[in-house]
């Protein structure tokens, strides 16, 4: 009897401990509750106060002591005595705040999300591997490791991250590891490569080759040029040097353009989202109040928590730089030092091509190239899947690149195989660019630094304390014949391959232009006399014109003026389209809600301010109109590309009888007038429904509802809704989920001054007050002045001082 009782009690105790020490999945995953709730080791340990302790930590691999002063925003000011120690410290400090983010982003890049979330992510993971993300990262690492400077930099950074990972006990793990019940794996140089390729994927994976190939089946060439022009010819290009491109361009043998005759049935790849873009500009001293140049940058990306950026100040002999870094990559990416400042916007160029490959048979082992059969390379990819057995996929590589779609993946027709040629697959050494930019003293150094930069192509703005301003569009751009690479290419003919690249010195660039400023906002790069063929998925049409108009008008400019410009909510798109839309309306038959909307719209000043109701009505109208106009494209059986906003509005105004304005779902023949009217009814309906649900008036900030979501699928407990104006196509480009992920203003006076803010905080820990402490300042369009001093003694009265000391390995 006793034995039985003891046995039962023991089994219950054991079962409880077992059951609470492991995770479960009943529809949704449950963390190991015993571990998770234990206040000595579980989530409670992740709660932090404002204070941070002064610490002395022993790190192996350090050569000398590194001192870090945290300021009140938790920005580390790192003082090292050599480069290796500097990057080791950067890796260590970044991991301390952002390890989960770094691991999740690199897992996502490498197609390893199924390991964390299970089989639901398998298609995503296979797509990542098939588009060659790991292949690209491996090539990047080979290039990095071949260069002694890059090698030392990346290896030190990796070492720093790993020292932090090794120091972790369960109670120190970032909260997300405890929630998802996994442990960090060692960092590698490859992960730095993956992180950079993830950026290339965000910024430079957009193309519409397959969509345009399908369009050739439905529309004639004139219609294609009308709907998807290479250059919309709107506003100023980034660089206008009409007639002054003084070089002899590289040319290719002339081959007649062969348009493909093919209906592509693959599902669409996720596109670079409409809200992704950026602004940057630099103003010469002749236009500023201080007489020194001013430089600004605000990259528009997915707004997440933790933020994509981590601000850091790095100082060692030969370098004193501060700005935004990417957790997972060494150095500062957008920032300033004591002589120069620089910033980036995306160059948009089409650097993705698709080749139709002809295989000898369905083993996919040999493929045709001109008159020969070439062997294909096969790579077997293993996918670990949480909660089930691993899955394998074989990826076939041609010399073009990986065959993304074949008989194993999302392709019902076994005869069609499409290989991906993407510039990000090529070995490159961007990390050297940032190493050198961080140390640049003048325009010459900046130019030399950019010579190392290949992908993702960016518009690099520059300003220096010596008074120069400059812009350079840098990337590795293939020389193309007109319209080549716009459609699916014939993979059996080498004549259509990338045969030469535009020499760096022929890239689009400008220095100290007469107008007194340089600027870029993802618009078309060069005037029509630039001798190389250029195309992209789309170029920006509104922000760039607004920025250039204001910069042209402004004089005696202060940093405050440029902060206001970054926060400018003027909706140029609305100013150009709303009067026409309103004139199309038949106002004699409006119901009460419509009449009231009409009145509000008539009186609206085109500002997408927080309190504006006109902005809400306009955007709701537009959101109804665009899909209604392009219903033919949305409902096509194969993928087609949507024309741009600018082209859509232009067609509505100038070609009201265009066939696309006829709505398929109705028997009547519609023109622009009717489609605009129908969209108005729908838009007002959308607002009325929203009002009924929310029980409030449609203020723009409420209706738009900018949301900064935690990286774990926007977990509501760790995410925030903020009150913010603007929208895509507006200088303050904050849409619902995208926007200015970093705002920076630098005054290049003798002593450089800089201001910045981003929607988040330095800590990635939802249990820290530094997780979101910059968020409201960002939302209000305010800035923090950065403490940028060369002397470590200036930081004595700071939040905390951390000393890293070398220890024998």
Contact 180, 414 (CB under 8 A): no
Q: How far apart are CA 321 and CA 77, in angstroms?
A: 10
Q: At what angle do helices 133-146 and 122-130 cross, to 10 degrees?
A: 50
Between residues 475 and 766, which has the closer beta carbon with respect to another protein? 766
Q: Using the rule CB under 8 A, is 647 a contact of another protein?
A: no
Between residues 12 and 146, which has the closer beta carbon with respect to another protein? 12
Q: Total residues contacting another protein (rule CB under 8 A)?
A: 39
Q: Using the rule CB under 8 A, is 715 a contact of another protein?
A: yes
Find the DSSP H helices in 347-441. Answer: 430-439
How far CA 121 is from CA of 176, 302, 658, 767, in Å, comes to 18, 20, 42, 27
Q: Are strands 352-357 and 489-490 parallel, antiparallel or unpaired?
A: parallel
Q: Using the rule CB under 8 A, is 700 a contact of another protein?
A: no
Q: Using the rule CB under 8 A, is 12 a contact of another protein?
A: yes
Q: How far is the CB of 302 from another protein (least distance, A)?
A: 21
The one segment of 32-40, 443-451, 489-497, 659-667 that binds another protein by CB under 8 A: 32-40
| 61 alpha-carbon distance from chain centroid | 33
Q: How far apart are CA 469 and CA 462, in angstroms?
A: 5
β-partners of residue 405 are 418
Between residues 15 and 790, which has the closer beta carbon with respect to another protein? 15
Return the C-alpha torsion angle 641, 646, 647, 649, nearest 10: 120
Q: Using the rule CB under 8 A, is 42 a contact of another protein?
A: yes
Tokens of 147: 């260069």
Among 5, 482, 637, 695, binds another protein (CB under 8 A): 5
Between residues 1 and 389, which has the closer beta carbon with respect to another protein? 1
Q: How far is the CB of 59 from another protein (least distance, A)?
A: 24
The three-point CA angle 580-583-588 to 5° equals 155
Contact 173, 183 (CB under 8 A): yes
Q: How far is the CB of 9 from another protein (least distance, A)?
A: 4
Task: Determine the longest span between alpha carbons in the chain, in angstroms.
Answer: 102
Between residues 5 and 695, which has the closer beta carbon with respect to another protein? 5
Q: How far is the CB of 5 from another protein (least distance, A)?
A: 5
The one segment of 40-48, 160-168, 208-216, 795-803 that binds another protein by CB under 8 A: 40-48
The one segment of 39-47, 217-225, 475-483, 621-629 that binds another protein by CB under 8 A: 39-47
Among 170, 501, 533, 598, binds another protein (CB under 8 A): 170
Q: Which residues contact 525 (CB under 8 A, 6 or more apart)?
A: 237, 238, 239, 347, 349, 459, 473, 508, 534
Q: Using the rule CB under 8 A, is 44 a contact of another protein?
A: yes
Which parts of 730-769 interact with another protein (CB under 8 A)?
A: 766-769
Among 380, 389, 717, 808, binds another protein (CB under 8 A): 717
Return the C-alpha torsion angle 397, 402, 407, 410, nearest 10: 160
Q: Using the rule CB under 8 A, is 595 a contact of another protein?
A: no
**What DSSP string runs through 28-63?**
EEE--HHHHH-TTTSGGGG---S----EEEEEET-S
The three-point CA angle 346-347-351 to 5° equals 115
Q: Using the rule CB under 8 A, is 790 a contact of another protein?
A: no
Among 23, 48, 149, 737, binds another protein (CB under 8 A): 48
Among 29, 34, 467, 627, binds another protein (CB under 8 A): 34
The one segment of 246-254, 341-349, 550-558, 712-720 that binds another protein by CB under 8 A: 712-720
Between residues 37 and 146, which has the closer beta carbon with respect to another protein? 37
Among 221, 716, 794, 805, binds another protein (CB under 8 A): 716
Among 22, 23, 29, 38, binds another protein (CB under 8 A): 38
β-partners of residue 369 are 372
Q: How far is the CB of 638 from another protein (least distance, A)?
A: 42
The three-point CA angle 299-739-335 to 5° equals 25
Q: Using the rule CB under 8 A, is 25 a contact of another protein?
A: no
Q: How far is the CB of 49 from another protein (least distance, A)?
A: 5
Which parts of 177-206 interact with another protein (CB under 8 A)?
A: 179
Rounded CA Rg of the chain: 28
- For CA atoms 476, 482, 488, 490, the dihedral sign is negative
Q: How far apart are CA 58 and CA 807, in angstroms?
A: 6
Q: How far is the CB of 186 from another protein (least distance, A)?
A: 23
Q: Using the rule CB under 8 A, is 172 a contact of another protein?
A: no
Length of the chain measured in residues: 809
**Helix count and strand count (H, E) for the chain:** 23, 31
Nearest by Cα to 242 from 515, 527, 509, 520:
527
Q: How far is the CB of 801 from another protein (least distance, A)?
A: 22
The one segment of 16-24, 398-406, 598-606, 794-802 that binds another protein by CB under 8 A: 16-24
Q: Using the rule CB under 8 A, is 214 a contact of another protein?
A: no
Please tell me the number of Cα atoms within 13 Å of 572 on its side-chain side.
22
Q: Using the rule CB under 8 A, is 60 a contact of another protein?
A: no
Q: Using the rule CB under 8 A, is 2 a contact of another protein?
A: yes
Q: How far is the CB of 421 from another protein (least distance, A)?
A: 44
Q: Using the rule CB under 8 A, is 13 a contact of another protein?
A: yes
Q: How far is the CB of 101 from another protein (least distance, A)?
A: 17
Between residues 511 and 721, which has the closer beta carbon with respect to another protein? 721
Residues that bind another protein (CB under 8 A): 1-2, 5-6, 9-10, 12-13, 16-17, 20-21, 33-35, 37-49, 170, 175, 179, 715-718, 766-769
């Amino acid at each position: 009897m006793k034995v039985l009782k003891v046995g039962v009690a023991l089994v219950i105790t054991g079962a409880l401990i077992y059951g609470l020490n492991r995770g479960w999945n009943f529809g949704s995953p449950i963390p190991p509750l015993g571990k998770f709730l234990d206040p000595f080791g579980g989530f409670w340990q992740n709660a932090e106060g404002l204070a941070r302790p002064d610490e002395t930590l022993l790190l192996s691999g350090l050569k000398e002591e590194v001192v870090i002063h945290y300021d009140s925003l938790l920005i580390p000011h790192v003082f090292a005595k050599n480069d290796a120690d500097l990057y080791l410290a950067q890796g260590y400090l970044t991991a301390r705040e952002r390890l989960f983010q770094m691991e999740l982003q690199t897992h996502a890049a490498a197609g390893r999300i199924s390991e964390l979330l299970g089989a639901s992510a398998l298609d995503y993971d296979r797509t990542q591997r098939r588009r060659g993300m790991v292949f690209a990262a491996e090539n990047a690492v080979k290039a990095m490791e071949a260069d002694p400077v890059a090698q030392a930099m990346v290896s030190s950074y990796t070492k720093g991250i790993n020292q932090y990972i090794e120091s972790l006990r369960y109670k120190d793990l970032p909260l997300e590891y405890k929630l998802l019940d996994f442990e960090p794996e060692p960092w590698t140089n490859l992960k730095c490569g993956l992180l950079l390729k993830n950026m290339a994927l965000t910024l430079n994976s957009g193309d519409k080759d397959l969509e345009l190939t399908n369009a050739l089946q439905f529309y004639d060439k004139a219609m294609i040029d009308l709907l998807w022009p290479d250059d919309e010819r709107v506003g100023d290009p980034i660089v206008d040097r009409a007639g002054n491109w003084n070089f002899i361009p590289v040319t290719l043998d002339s081959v007649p353009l062969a348009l493909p005759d093919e209906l592509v049935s693959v599902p669409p790849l996720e596109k670079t989202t409409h809200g992704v873009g950026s602004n940057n500009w630099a103003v010469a001293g002749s236009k500023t109040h201080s007489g020194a140049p001013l430089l600004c940058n605000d990259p528009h990306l997915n707004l997440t928590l933790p933020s994509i950026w981590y601000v850091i100040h790095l100082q060692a002999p030969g370098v004193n730089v501060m700005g935004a870094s990417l957790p997972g990559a060494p150095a500062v990416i957008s920032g300033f030092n004591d002589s120069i400042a620089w910033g980036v916007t995306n160059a948009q160029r089409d650097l993705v091509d698709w080749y139709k490959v002809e295989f000898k048979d369905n083993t996919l082992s040999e493929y045709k190239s001109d008159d020969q059969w070439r062997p294909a390379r096969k790579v077997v990819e293993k996918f670990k899947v949480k909660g089930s057995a691993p899955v394998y996929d074989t990826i076939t590589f041609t010399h073009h690149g990986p065959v993304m779609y074949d008989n194993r993946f999302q392709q019902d027709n076994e005869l069609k195989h499409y290989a991906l040629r993407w510039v990000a697959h090529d070995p490159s050494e961007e990390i050297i660019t940032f190493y050198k930019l961080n140390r640049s003293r003048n325009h010459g150094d900046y130019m030399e630094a950019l010579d190392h930069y290949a992908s993702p192509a960016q518009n690099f703005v520059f300003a220096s304390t010596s008074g120069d301003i400059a812009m350079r569009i840098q990337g590795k751009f293939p020389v193309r014949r007109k319209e080549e690479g716009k459609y699916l290419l014939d993979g059996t003919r080498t004549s259509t391959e990338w045969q030469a690249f535009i020499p760096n010195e022929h890239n689009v660039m400008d220095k100290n232009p007469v107008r007194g400023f340089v600027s870029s906002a993802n618009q078309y790069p060069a005037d029509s006399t630039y001798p190389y063929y250029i195309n992209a998925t789309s170029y920006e049409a509104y922000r760039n014109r607004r920025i250039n108009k204001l910069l042209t008008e402004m004089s005696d400019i202060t940093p405050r003026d440029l902060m206001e410009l970054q926060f400018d909510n003027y909706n140029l798109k609305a100013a150009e389209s709303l009067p026409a839309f309103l004139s199309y309306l038949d106002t004699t038959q409006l119901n009460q809600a419509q009449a009231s909307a009409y009145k509000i719209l008539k009186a609206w000043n085109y500002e997408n301010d927080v309190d504006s109701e006109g902005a809400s009505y306009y955007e709701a109208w537009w959101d109804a109109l665009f899909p209604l106009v392009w219903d033919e494209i949305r409902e096509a059986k194969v993928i087609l590309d949507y024309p741009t906003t600018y082209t859509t509005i232009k067609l509505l105004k100038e070609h009201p009888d265009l066939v696309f304005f006829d709505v398929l779902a109705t028997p009547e023949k519609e023109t622009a007038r009717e489609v605009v009217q129908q969209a108005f009814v729908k838009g007002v309906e959308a607002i009325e429904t929203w009002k009924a649900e929310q029980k409030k008036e449609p203020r723009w900030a409420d209706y738009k509802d900018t949301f900064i979501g935690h990286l774990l699928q926007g977990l509501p407990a760790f995410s925030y809704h903020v009150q913010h104006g603007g929208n895509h196509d507006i200088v303050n480009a904050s849409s619902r989920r995208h926007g200015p992920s970093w705002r920076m203003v630098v005054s290049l006076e003798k002593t450089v001054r800089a201001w910045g803010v981003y929607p988040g905080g330095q800590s990635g820990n939802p249990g820290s007050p530094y997780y979101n402490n910059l968020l409201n300042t960002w939302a209000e369009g305010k800035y923090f002045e950065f403490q940028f001093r060369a002397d470590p003694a200036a930081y004595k009265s700071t939040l905390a001082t951390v000393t890293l000391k070398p220890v024998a390995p």
